Amino acid sequence: MTLALEILATVIMLTVALGIYRIERGPTGTDRMLSAMLFGTSGVALTLVLGELTGLHGLRDMALVFALLGALTAVAFVKRAWGADD
């Protein structure tokens, strides 16, 4: 089971590295923000998997923080910084 968890963590990390391409390319600020939202979800999954792997069960609380932060950043972006990159 440990190996399966490690492979899953590596795959998620790989997809994240793939997503950074979208921040580099743009073209608009919205596209860049989408990658940040993607990493919110991937961050939750990664934290849960690492928590199971290392036996640190407090990491489930951290996954909750990640989940809430994704929404917070999206709202801050839409309300405050919309169109800042045009």
Partner 1 sequence: MMGIFDILLVGTLLWIAFGSLNENKLFKSVVMFIIFGLFMAIAWIRLGSPDVALAEAAIGAGATGALMLDAVGHLRSRATPYPTGHESRESDDG
Partner 2 sequence: MPWQTVIDVITYALFAASGFFFLAGSVGLVRFPDVYTRLHALTKSDNLGLGLASTGLALQSGSWIVAAKLLLIWMIVIVAGATACYLVANSARNSGIEPWTGGDR
Partner 3 sequence: MSETPTTITPRERLRRLPGRAVGMLLVWFVVTEADIPSLVIGVPIALAAATLSVALQPRSLSGVYLPGAIRFARFFAVNSVLGGIDVAFRALGPRMRLAPAIVHYPLRISGSFPRVFFANTISMLPGTLSSRLTDDTVEVHVLDCTRPVIEDLAKVEERVADLFGAQLSPHEGGGVL
Half-sphere exposure of 1 (CA within 13 A, CB side): 5
Select 6 or 61, whichever has its Cβ closest to partner 3: 61
Closest distance to partner 3 from the beta carbon of 57 (Å):
8
Residue pointed to by tokens 């608009």: 28
Q: What is the dihedral of CA 63, 64, 70, 76, to 10 degrees?
A: -140
Number of residues that bind partner 1 (CB under 8 A): 44
Q: From the list partner 1, partner 3, partner 2, none, which binds 55 (C-beta under 5 to 8 Å, kind-based)?
A: none
Distances 41 to 12, 30, 80, 86 between C-alpha atoms, Å: 10, 17, 22, 26
Binding residues for partner 2, rule: CB under 8 A, are 1, 4-5, 7-8, 11-12, 14-16, 18-19, 21-22, 28, 30-31, 33-35, 37-38, 40-42, 44-45, 48-49, 52, 57, 60, 63-64, 67-68, 70-71, 74-75, 77-78, 82-83
